[in-house]
Structure 1
Amino acid sequence: MKTNKNIPAIKGAFVILSFFFVLNMEGQDLQSFIKEAQNNNPEIQAFELRYSIAEEKVNEANWIPNTEVSAGYFVSEPETRVGPQRARIGFKQMLPWFGTITARENYASSMADADYVEVTIAKRKLELSVAETYYQLYEIRAKQLVLEENIQLLDTYQRLALTSVEVGNASAVDVLRLQIRQNELVQEKKVLEQQAFGIRAAFNSLLNRDHDVPVETVTELPLPEEETAFSYDGLSLNPELLKYDKLYESVVQSELLNQRESAPMIGFGLDYLPVSKRTDMDLFENGKDIVMPMVSVTIPIFNNRYKSISKQNELRQQEIESQKDQRLNVLESAFAKAISQRNQARIKFETQSKNLKQANDAEEILIKNYETGTIDFNDVLDIQELQLKFQMNQIESVGNYYVQSAVINYLTN
């Protein structure tokens, strides 16, 4: 038999399969994808524009009521001692109570701060979406590599089976079974290609670029030897909770503004009345024009509106506190779930690693049996299917581990 010539090929193929996790790192770094998405994503741009508008409202808040200018002409001129009045020209300027403009600016600034937190939340959610989609593409690419290696391995087995058929140690059925198994792997690889097409389109959409742009991911994601410790205390810094602090502060500023606006307004004005000279007699200051400075004050006697706004602000603060408590419960639940699933992923990976090692040991036995001419190709297929199953499970465990790590990072950092 031509045994010795083919054994190295089998061993080489299994070495590749057993150590596919130590391939060199290739592909674009995830952080560069995240940065590109944050720079190009239309949703982020919309949030940033909303924040810019909110910032501009701070400048808008620095205003006072319009100056009132009035003019009138006496059709029937009223007579005064020094002459008839011909017209009346006046202007008046109302001024808000002291500190009102500052309170208005502080309120607008607090609303801008709340919108800025929304920008931060949108960026973090986008970062999480990019990471999750990236790891899905990694899983598909890693599985495609494993399938390609298994397809090549089955080619080697087919050559061995044909050799065994020639010497009467195997039947043509064994060859057909190997070919059928290879066809199944080719089918699975093509299905993965279609899955990659859809996920790649979604990934490119997050980066706001053409859906068919190639995406190169890493081919290896080793699990860290030690787990990073995370605490529930880190949730307090999550922007989704900080948003409620900013909203609460905006209500505080709204109430301060309401108190200022409920105060009186002071007005200053001046009326000018031109007077014609009397022609029937010569008087002291004959035809002297009239100038009349004026001061006015608005008195908020009917102030139910401001009392209602104060009550609304009080209720709004209670609402925000309840919303924050509810959101904290949701984040804590998501955090616990992510920690649990990440730990499960590590356990599954380690279990699959042990199973794969044992499958490799069984493979070594098959190779030695081939040297004696007693190889059973049914056993070969069984071992190959087990190895592929363990490798696929490993890839899924690694992908899930990093997805859950991304979720934890979103929740706590």
Structure 2
Amino acid sequence: MKTLFKVIKISTEFLSFGTTKYTSSFRLLTSIFIILQLLQTNLSQAQNLERYLVEAGEKNPELKAYFNDYLATMEQIPQVGALPDPELTVGFFLQPMERFMGNQLADIRLMQMFPWFGMLRTQKDEVGKMASARYEVFENAKNNLYYQVKSIYYEMYQLEEEIRITEENLKILQTYERIALSRFKSSGTGGSSSNMPSSGSMDSPTGTSSGSSMGGMSSGGNNARPSVKPAGSVVSDGGSMASGKSTMSDVLRIRIQLKELESNLLTLQDQKALLLTEFNKLLNREMEEAVILTDTLREATIPLDKIALLDSIRINNPMLKMLDAEAEAYEVQKEMARLNGRPMLGIGVNYMPFSARQENGMDMGGKDMIMPMVSVTIPIWRKKYNARHKEAEYNQLAVSQRKEDMVNQLEVEWSRAVRDLEDASRKIQLYKDQAKLAEQTVQLLMTSYSGSGQGFEEVLKVQQQLLDYQLKLVEAIVNQHMSIAQIEALM
């Protein structure tokens, strides 16, 4: 929270740095209130993420470039608000000019032009509006950067959870494998030795009986028999041999799932390395620098209704503020076009030094002359001034149309984000219930399998469903936070 207030304070200082003020402080207060409400939904678990957001804001080169663009535009304000440079004209006579006042030695003129009343203030106001537009571009870039950081952070959390869940399921399947092997061995040694000619080879998935078990699995039955029996062997109809073969096919099914999970685990590890690189580069850090993730990403809710969110987006979205600032700048440009059609005034002085002139043995003249001067420009070519006014009107109309289109796009994005948020919330509750039922079903099936040795295929099927529900639950929670992050970016 301390960092959040720091960011708000910095943003407020940036806004006050310009020459223009926002029409009402209510907008800023509303924005701060909504952001506080959004962050308070899961503040305790977002401390690491908040620290990374601050680091990204300080180090990301693209964001710093946008802010320097804003600062560069601000530096134009003192340029356009200054008077034109005075003009100094100095002329020297190679031979003194004989005049009645004496011999003129030089002609020195100093002239300062003054724009029409209010022109400098209007120019500063226009550049200030454009600087405000630049600042909103920076704000939009910051929001997009924060959204990217949050998105990759949540994706990394999802990957970590998927890796953890996959590893837990690997351990569970390995336990099932030991149980199935134990039942196979016990059933294989429980009958007479004459009924178990291939029990040793069945214990290995690479043996001959292993291949026959795979054939039985593909045919869909646990009662499959090998097509070739050793000579002299006797197979009973319902003895331990049939039970042993069924159990071995169960072992092979487990090993198939184990291989698939191990492959998925390697894929997740590769994706984790890629996301780590993307995340660190957003923060302008070394590619393999460690990232601390939250232990548990809990469910989050937005304390405002949908219409209040939409109203806040319409008021606080940086791109809409940028277009408002541009429209105000073009309004000022129309005033500038009118003032450009007014004359400029010039005030100066003309200094002429004289030396005494000999006439009839007497010094004549020699007194320097100072002459005040006034000049006026005459803007008689009205066509260019009218064209400037029309140009500003067309630009203002274009900005108004762009804003209308931007509002439509933001409403669509808001609608999509709210839909995704509500859908994720529903799925979270669904997958919680489904996972709970699947766990109970697995326990019942395992109890039944431990007693009768039947139904192991159903155990694996429900265990796979449980794995899917666990992964989908993590994905739904992440999607929920993604949707909230998108709404925050829109605001």
> Which whole-Å deviations, capped at 9, do the CAs of 1:49-85 have from their partners, x for residues lacking one?
1122222222222322222222223356543334343
- Partner residue in 1 for 2:262: 186
Deviation at 1:308, TM superposition (A): 1.1
1:30 corresponds, among 44, 49, 52, to 49
Q: Quick one: which of 129, 132, 145 aligns to 2:148?
A: 129
Map 1:150-161 onto structure 2 (within 5 A). Answer: 150-161=169-180
Query: How far apart, in 2, do the equivalents of 1:292 and 1:226 lie?
Result: 75
User: Does the 8 Å contact 1:51/1:119 carry over to 2?
Assistant: yes
Are 1:315 and 2:394 counterparts? Answer: yes
Q: Are the counterparts in 1 of residues 424 and 476 from structure 2 also a CA contact under 8 Å?
A: yes
- 1:212 is matched with 288
Report the Cα distance in structure 2 between the residues aligned to 1:253 and 1:225, rounded to whole angstroms: 43
Change (3 A) 1:384 1:108: same
| Secondary structure in 2 matching 1:29 | helix
How far 1:329 sits from its partner (Å)? 0.3
**2:91 aligns to what SS in structure 1?**
strand
How far 1:26 moved relative to its partner?
Answer: 7.8
Q: CA RMSD in A?
A: 2.2
Aligned equivalent of 2:251, options 172, 175, 182: 175
**Structure 2 residue corresponding to 1:234, chosen from 312, 326, 329:** 312
Q: 8 Å contact 2:48–2:293 — kept in the other structure?
A: yes
> What is the rounded CA distance, in whole Å, between the counterparts of 1:242 and 1:380 in structure 2?
58
Aligned AA (2:313): L
Same amino acid, percent of matched pairs: 30
User: Alpha carbons of 1:32 and 1:82: their partners in 2 closer, same or farther (altered >3 Å)?
Assistant: closer
Q: Give secondary structure in 1 for the equivalent of 2:380.
A: coil
**Mapped contact 2:45–2:297 kept (Cα < 8 A):** no
1:374 maps to 2:461: no
Q: Secondary structure at the match of 2:354?
A: coil
Deviation string, structure 1 residues 285-311 (Cα, Å, up to 9, x no partner): 623333222111111111322211111
2:410 aligned partner, one-letter code? L
Q: How far did 1:109 drift?
A: 1.6
154-163 vs 232-241, which deviates more? 232-241
Choose from 416, 428, 433 the match for 1:349: 428
> Does the 8 Å contact 1:278/1:287 carry over to 2?
yes
Letter in 2 for 1:214: A
Is contact 1:92–1:269 with CA below 8 Å preserved after alignment? yes
SS at match of 2:85: coil
Contact 2:358 2:364 survives alignment (8 Å): no
- Measure the CA separation in 2 of the matches of 1:100 and 1:111: 17
Q: Work out whether residues 369 and 375 of structure 1, in 8 Å CA contact, stay in contact via their aligned partners in 2.
A: yes
Report the residue type matching 1:119 in the other structure: F
Q: What's 1:264 paired with?
A: 343
Aligned partner (choices 90, 110, 114) of residue 109 of structure 2: 90
Alignment correspondent of 2:276: 200
The answer for the alignment partner of 2:58 in structure 1 is 39
| d(CA) in 1 for partners of 2:107, 2:304 | 81
Per mean C-alpha deviation after superposition, the further-off stretch among 280-289 and 257-266 is 280-289
Q: Post-superposition shift, 1:130?
A: 1.0
What's the secondary structure of 1:74's corresponding residue? strand
CA drift of 1:35 comes to: 1.4
Q: Take 2:98 and 2:300, find their aligned partners in 1: how far apart are those partners?
A: 99
Matched, 1:149 2:155: no
* Residue 217 of structure 1, CA deviation: 1.9
What is the SS of the residue equivalent to 1:46? helix
Any conservation in 1 of the 2:348–2:373 contact (CA below 8 Å)?
yes
**1:407/1:361 CA distance change after superposition, 3 Å:** same
Deviation string, structure 1 residues 9-61 (Cα, Å, up to 9, x no partner): xxxxxxxxxxxxxxxx9896222221111111111111121122222222222
Mark the CA change 1:292 to 1:133 in structure 2 (over 3 Å): closer, same or farther: same
Q: CA 1:222/1:286 → structure 2, altered by over 3 Å: closer, same or farther?
A: closer
Question: What are the superposed Cα offsets for residues 187-216 of structure 1, whole Å, 9 maximum, x if unpaired?
Answer: 101101101111111111111111111223
Unpaired runs of 5+ residues, structure 1, are 1-24
Q: 1:111 to 1:283 in 2, by over 3 A?
A: farther
Distance 1:41 1:97 in 2: 45
In structure 2, what is the Cα distance between the partners aligned to 1:385 and 1:182? 11
TM-score (normalised: structure 2):
0.74
What is the one-letter code of the residue matched to 1:389? Answer: D
Note if contact 1:26-1:216 (Cα within 8 Å) is conserved in structure 2. Answer: no
Q: Distance in 1 between matches of 2:105 and 2:457?
A: 118
Query: Could you say if the C-alpha distance between residues 94 and 28 of structure 1 is closer, same or farther in structure 2, counting changes exceeding 3 Å?
Result: closer
Deviations 1:254-277 (A, max 9, x none): 223333333211112222223343
Structure 2 distance, partners of 1:338, 1:90, is: 69
Check the 8 A contact 2:300/2:481 in 1, yes or no: no
Instruction: Spell out, residue by residue over 1:111-136, the C-alpha distance to the aligned partner (whole angstroms, 9 max, x if none).
Output: 22111212211111111111111111
1:333 aligns with 2:412: yes
Q: Distance in 1 between matches of 2:111 and 2:302?
A: 74
Specify which structure has the bigger relative contact order, considering alpha-carbon pairs within 8 angstroms and separated by 6 or more residues: 1
TM-score normalized by the length of structure 1? 0.88
8 Å contact 1:100–1:260 — kept in the other structure? yes
Alpha-carbon distance between aligned partners in 2 of 1:225 and 1:289, rounded to the nearest angstrom: 85
**1:225-268 CA deviation, whole Å, 9 max, x = no partner?**
78742222122121121111111111122223333333211112
